[in-house]
Amino acid sequence: MLKIVSVLGARPQFIKAAPVTRALGQAGHREILLHTGQHYDYGMSKIFFDELDIPEPDINLGVGSDSHAAQTGGMLMGIEDVLLAEKPDWTLVYGDTNSTLAGALAAAKLHIPVAHVEAGLRSYNREMPEEHNRVLTDHCADMLFAPTKTAVDNLAAEGISQGVHKVGDTMYDALLQFLDLAHQRSGILDDLGLEPKGYFLTTVHRPSNTDIWENLRAILAALRVLEEPVIFPVHPRARAKIDEIDGELQLSAPDCNVQLIEPVGYLDMLRLQENARAILTDSGGMQKEAYFLKVPCITLRHETEWVETVAAGWNILTGPDTEAIRSSITAIDTSRAAPAQIFGDGHAADRIAALLAEHQLS
């Protein structure tokens, strides 16, 4: 039996971790869930534990929001205390947030083996805080769970081949595990009065889109003139910025179809995505989910880590550019070939649990 400390902190990490937590439990390993507290609103954190049946975190550091250094530093100190007390066989980290980097760095300094789920992703844009987190975490990690071949190739280009395993994507596992439940439990289409394929879905949370006024304005200007409802669950980072701009763009005017709502849970989000005419987003996870669900995606960034979705014709990169967004909506073609299974077979989490046991280092 392994003892594993899993470091989680932000919304997408709860979703990525849910299938792994299940697989580790089924394999009889002891997992200690360490929540950094990076996300803390009910709708950004606890709702996912409730819906995805993830046990309550064993520890919540309650670090909260702050500058990168203060937030990551607070996490580092708290995680170190836990690792010193628990002395796990593995520290498991997910994705590319400040919680990921803090977990990897704290463990590496203590010579506790680090395993990184979703290793090898690169945007090659160092303006993104996530890109530093990805590169540094991968270079700390002993075991690197790559979701795709591109991720394996990216690691090889940086000289990392030892400990790399292409396992598939745990977000695909999660979607397969929870889609039926979403159908049973989510009433969001009725609640919002939506017809299948009769609306757009959008999310925006990258600092480059929320914190640069011209970019947020360009995105909202494109959404504002759409003739079908645009459902927009607003990430807390974007909320105040949108409120500032609302006076000018009049998003709540009767002629505007944009519906700003609070962040939704995973089950509602799956339903909303599955039935959307198209998804317009800067989210990493939602670009993949759009692909899994065969929904066209318009990515409000100039580059993506998920290059396969673009190559397959299911994702268009527009950046925060009003004209490019509008013309890509007009160009949406739903007759394209079904997406290939490039994100695995839905059993990435089982492979991760098996590989951690097989390669026990300590």
Q: Which residues bind ligand UDP (CB under 6 A)?
A: 11-12, 15, 203, 205, 233, 263-266, 269, 283-286, 289
Of 6-14, 75-83, 268-276, 333-341, which segment contacts ligand UD1 by CB under 6 A?
6-14
Of 26-34, 175-183, 231-239, 316-324, which segment contacts ligand UD1 by CB under 6 A?
231-239
Asked whether position 236 contacts ligand UD1 by CB under 6 A, the answer is yes
The smaller minimum CB distance to ligand UD1, of residues 31 and 96, is found at: 96
How far the first Cα of the chain sits from its last, in Å, is 13
The smaller minimum CB distance to ligand UD1, of residues 210 and 353, is found at: 210
Task: Please state the φ and ψ torsions of residue 290, each to the nearest 5 degrees.
Answer: -60, -45
**One of 7, 10, 231, 349 touching ligand UD1 (CB under 6 A):** 10
* DSSP code per residue over 228-242: S-EEEEPPHHHHHHH
The smaller minimum CB distance to ligand UD1, of residues 35 and 39, is found at: 39
Region of 162 please: left (phi>0), alpha (psi -120 to 50) or beta.
beta
Q: How many CA atoms lie within 13 A of 150 on its CB side?
A: 15
Asked whether position 65 contacts ligand UD1 by CB under 6 A, the answer is yes
Q: 332-348 burial, b for 16+ CB within 10 Å, e for fewer?
A: eeeeeeebeebbbebbb
Interacting partner of 263 out of ligand UDP, ligand UD1, none (Cβ under 5 to 8 A depending on kind): ligand UDP
Query: What distance in Å separates the CA atoms of residue 22 and residue 274, rounded to the nearest whole number?
Result: 24
**One of 97, 170, 203, 315 touching ligand UD1 (CB under 6 A):** 97
Q: CA separation (Å) from 287 to 124, 187, 202?
A: 17, 23, 11
Query: What distance in Å separates the CA atoms of residue 344 and residue 117, rounded to the nearest whole number?
Result: 14
Query: What distance in Å separates the CA atoms of residue 176 and residue 169, rounded to the nearest whole number?
Result: 11
Pinpoint the alpha helices (H) of 212-281.
Answer: 213-224, 236-249, 266-275
Region of 49 please: left (phi>0), alpha (psi -120 to 50) or beta.
alpha
The smaller minimum CB distance to ligand UDP, of residues 113 and 320, is found at: 320
List the x/- string, 185-214, binding to ligand UD1 by CB under 6 A: --------------------x---------
Q: Is 205 a catalytic residue?
A: yes
List the x/- string, 281-300, binding to ligand UD1 by CB under 6 A: --------------------
Q: Which is the catalytic residue, given 29, 132, 139, 205?
A: 205
3-state secondary structure of 202: strand
The smaller minimum CB distance to ligand UDP, of residues 79 and 204, is found at: 204
Q: Shortest gap between Cβ of 360 and ligand UD1 (angstroms)? A: 29
Query: What distance in Å separates the CA atoms of residue 346 and residue 222, rounded to the nearest whole number?
Result: 35
Asked whether position 12 contacts ligand UD1 by CB under 6 A, the answer is yes
Binding-site ranges for ligand UD1 (CB under 6 A): 10-12, 38-41, 44, 65, 96-98, 129-130, 205, 235-237
Residues designated as active site: 205
